[in-house]
């Protein structure tokens, strides 16, 4: 493992993968001269894919081929400098790893970096690489991007090949990426999504601010939705901005969620200051996630009985030992939500929500203390996760010296539109952030 003091503990293993012959010397390639790192969930020929756990690494052989997503960015001129630390079996959004160390959050060293793509986010946030590759099943790119003050993009489900990537839960798994500026975010996106060099920069027909979702956040309203609304109005006009109570809309348009809503769950949601329909959405997502995780890895876990860190051990064994019901209902929820949000946004509409409900928690915070925060976080994260829509987390500077962000969600397949929008909008957002932070 790399020296933690040299690289913020981001790297599992350092090595150099050069672009193929002809690519490294071609300055016309979109990623020419850029460096990147890959989460230790991607296959790289000749290296063991460790999946965040030493027992996994010990019981698996070196990969014989390299994941297509990695090959794509190499072919477009980028150079890889190593593999990054991740949460064990991708089953956490904290970013803490008891075996390999927790990558140091470059924005707040005493706070978690976010996971499970922790090392990949830290590598970019600390300026060690120009971009990095991660995966996002339940939030593993969006959360660390927010916590580390950088851009993170979760693409539309199935838009980027997950071949050669150790699966977590295939109904939600995506290959995502991190960058410090929107231009590199877009260039990497064009490579991974195989988008044309010149695509039309469409103007959003509406930017819908989910007011109830922003009420889940502990950050003052003027620091997140306020900055976004001011920026959108300045660039596109006030008539583009709309407001909605997303929870009510989802409850009305996704009838299968009724299976996951009861008096008991509504009482718990009130205790956590949560939105009942989005909490039910999160429940459906995590049930299907458990089912698929068990199918993927249950036999290995029960046979090897690996050493897991605290918190992770309970979560992983709960999934492996669970008898998951309502799987088909969970799949109905996915379909109904995609239809509902497609109708709400159309091809060029945007939904704005907080990425997470607050700043990054302190390191080694007790799981019970974080229960309400995690519940609200997954309510937000499940919107794109269950619908399969694309989502970008955009840094908005700091509040009380801790990083804050906002997320924009676009319809499935509108990844290029969303990447263009971020690039066009971010200059104005940056001006608004600087004005607030003076």
> What's the burial of 172, exposed, middle or buried (CB within 10 Å: 0-12/13-18/19+)?
buried
Of the candidates 281, 310, 312, the residue with the CA atom closest to the CA atom of residue 378: 281
Tell me the β-bridge partners of 133.
38, 177
Are 393 and 142 in contact, with CB atoms under 8 Å apart?
A: yes
Q: Is residue 433 within a helix (H) or strand (E), and if so which, with residue range?
A: helix 415-437
d(CA 315, CA 186): 35
CA atoms 146, 151, 156, 157: torsion sign: negative
Contacts of 267 (CB under 8 A, 6+ apart): none
Q: For this structure, is 39 an active site residue? A: yes
Catalytic one among 92, 117, 118, 140? 140
Catalytic one among 39, 79, 83, 334? 39
d(CA 78, CA 30): 9
CA angle 306, 309, 315 (to 5 degrees): 85
d(CA 244, CA 171): 28
Q: Give the orientation angle of helix 276-304 with respect to helix 246-253, to 10 degrees.
A: 70
d(CA 27, CA 367): 49
User: What is the DSSP-derived secondary structure letter of residue 218?
Assistant: S
Q: For this structure, is 120 an active site residue? A: no
Q: Provide the token pair at 202.
A: 């469409």
Q: For this structure, is 253 an active site residue? A: no
For 55, what's the count of Cα atoms within 13 Å in the CB-facing half-sphere?
Answer: 13
Upstream peptide bond of 424 is cis (omega within 30 degrees of 0): no
Catalytic one among 116, 120, 146, 282? 116
Residue with tokens 């020419």: 32
- Phi, psi at 123, each rounded to 5°: -60, -40
Are 87 and 94 in contact, with CB atoms under 8 Å apart?
A: yes
Are 179 and 130 in contact, with CB atoms under 8 Å apart?
A: yes
The count of other CB atoms within 10 Å of the CB of residue 195 is 16
Q: Is residue 80 within a helix (H) or strand (E), and if so which, with residue range?
A: strand 79-84
Return the active site residues. Answer: 39, 116, 140
């Amino acid at each position: 493992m790399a020296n933690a003091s040299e690289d913020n503990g981001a790297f599992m293993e350092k090595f150099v993968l050069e672009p193929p012959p002809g690519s490294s010397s071609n300055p016309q390639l979109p990623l020419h001269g850029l460096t990147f790192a890959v989460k230790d969930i991607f296959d790289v020929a000749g290296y063991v894919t460790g999946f965040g756990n030493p027992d996994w690494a010990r019981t698996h052989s070196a990969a014989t081929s390299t994941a297509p997503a990695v090959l794509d960015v190499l072919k477009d001129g980028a150079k890889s400098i190593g593999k990054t630390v991740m949460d064990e079996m991708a089953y956490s959004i904290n970013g803490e790893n008891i075996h390999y160390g927790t990558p140091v959050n470059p924005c707040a060293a005493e706070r978690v970096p976010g996971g499970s793509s922790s090392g990949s986010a830290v590598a970019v946030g600390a300026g060690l690489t120009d971009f990095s590759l991660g995966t996002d099943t339940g939030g593993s790119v969006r959360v660390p991007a927010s916590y580390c003050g950088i851009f993170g993009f979760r693409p539309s489900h199935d838009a980027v090949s997950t071949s050669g990537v150790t699966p977590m839960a295939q109904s939600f798994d995506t290959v995502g990426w991190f960058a410090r500026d929107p231009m590199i975010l877009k260039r990497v996106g064009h490579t991974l999504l195989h988008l044309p060099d010149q695509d039309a920069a469409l103007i959003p027909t509406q930017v819908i601010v989910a007011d109830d979702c922003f009420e889940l956040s502990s950050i003052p309203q003027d620091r997140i939705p306020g900055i976004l609304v001011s920026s959108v109005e300045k660039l596109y006009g006030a008539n583009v901005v709309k407001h909605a109570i997303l929870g009510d809309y989802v409850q009305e348009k996704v009838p299968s969620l009724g299976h996951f809503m009861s008096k008991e769950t509504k009482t718990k949601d009130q205790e956590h200051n949560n939105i009942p329909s989005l909490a039910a959405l999160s429940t459906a997502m995590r049930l299907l996630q458990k089912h698929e995780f068990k199918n993927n890895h249950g036999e290995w876990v029960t046979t090897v009985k690996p050493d897991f860190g605290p918190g992770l051990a309970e979560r992983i064994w709960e999934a492996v030992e669970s008898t998951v019901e309502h799987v088909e209902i969970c799949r109905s929820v996915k379909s109904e939500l995609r239809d509902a949000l497609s109708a709400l946004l159309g091809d060029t509409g945007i939904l704005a929500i907080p990425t997470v409900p607050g700043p990054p928690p302190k390191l080694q915070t007790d799981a019970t203390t974080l229960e309400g925060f995690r519940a609200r976080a997954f309510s937000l994260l499940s919107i794109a996760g269950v619908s399969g829509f694309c989502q970008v987390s955009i840094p908005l500077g700091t509040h009380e010296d801790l990083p804050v962000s906002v997320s924009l969600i676009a319809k499935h397949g509108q990844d290029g539109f969303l990447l263009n929008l971020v690039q066009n909008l971010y200059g104005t957002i940056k001006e608004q952030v600087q004005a607030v932070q003076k």
